Structure 1
Amino acid sequence: MASPGARLDDRPGVTVRCRENPSVDVTFCDRLSFDTDSVRYAVELRAPGLTARVDEVVAWIWDSDLTTFLEELAAEYRGWDGERSWQTNDRDLTVSAVFRSRGYVGLTWSLQPWPQAAGRWGASVTTWLEAGEQMTSLAADVRHFLTGEQP
């Protein structure tokens, strides 16, 4: 479930908690306006035994953005076949989505900073959300976070 609101440092953020295991979550935080064409933010993944963070994920205004991808998934609340995916232009954040019977969407959030560098690393977690209202709420929360608008 998406939980917008204040974090410990009082900066706005969005947390996506897994419906099936609330100890698994993804947090978008530390949003900074980069310039008129982009925004920089951090993404944190957490699960039992795992904490991973990328500090400089960049969303380009002219690019197909994460909110559009999430809105399209929410609009298809009755489901789809196969896997759908989205990634940042730099490929440091990838989101894959699958639809499961009884109206649940599995979102696998993968971080892989510096994909071409030696010593690179990667981490991923999967959150399960209800296909309708929870996906719609998540898309709206992420849009507000990335644009800097108040919900």
Structure 2
Amino acid sequence: MSSPDDRTDDEPSVTVRCQDNSSVGVKLCERYSFDEDSVHYAVELRAPGLTARADEVVAWAWGSDLVPFLEALASDYRGWDGTRSWETNDRDLAVSAVFRSGGYVGLKWTLRPWTGSSGGWAASVTTWLESGEQMTSLAADVRRFLGGERT
């Protein structure tokens, strides 16, 4: 399930917790913007034995955004065949989605910062969410987060 975090410092963020294992999750946080063309934010992945973070993920106003991808998944709540994928223009954050019987969506979140330099790394976690309301809620939460709205 996803939730806008209620933080004491009032910094907007979105946390996605795996329905199957609540110790697996993703957090979008520390959003900032230099101009009208982009939004920068951090992404944190966590699972037992894993903590990973990318500080400079960028959502471009003119690029393919995460929100329409999540909204399309939410609108197809009855399922689909195969894998659907999205990634940032810089390819440092990728999300792939599969549909599981019983009405669940598996979102595999992959961080790959520094893809052009030696010593780069990658980490992934998969969160399982209910295909209807939880996916719709996640898409709305991410839209508010990237749009700079307070929740």
Query: What TM-score do you get using the length of structure 2 for normalisation?
Result: 0.97
Paired residues, what number? 151
Structure 1 residues not aligned, in runs of 5+: none
Equivalent residue, structure 1, for 2:51: 51
What is the root-mean-square deviation of aligned Cα atoms in Å?
Answer: 1.0
> What amino acid sits opposite 2:143 in the alignment?
R
Q: What SS does the corresponding residue of 1:58 show, helix, strand or coil? A: strand
In 1, Cα distance between equivalents of 2:98 and 2:8: 32
> What amino acid sits opposite 2:104 in the alignment?
Y
C-alpha displacement at 1:104, in angstroms?
Answer: 0.1
Matches for 1:68-79 after TM superposition, within 5 Å: 68-79=68-79
- Deviating more after overlay: 14-23 vs 31-40: 31-40
Query: What TM-score do you get using the length of structure 1 for normalisation?
Result: 0.97
Equivalent residue, structure 2, for 1:39: 39
Q: Which is strand-richer, 1 or 2?
A: 1
Answer yes or no: is the 8 Å Cα contact 2:46–2:52 preserved in 1: yes
Equivalent residue, structure 2, for 1:142: 142
Structure 2 residues not aligned, in runs of 5+: none
Write out the 4+ residue segments of structure 1 that deviate beyond 6 Å after TM superposition.
none
Query: Percent same amino acid at aligned positions?
Result: 72
In 2, Cα distance between equivalents of 1:5 and 1:48: 21
Answer yes or no: is the 8 Å Cα contact 2:12–2:150 preserved in 1: no
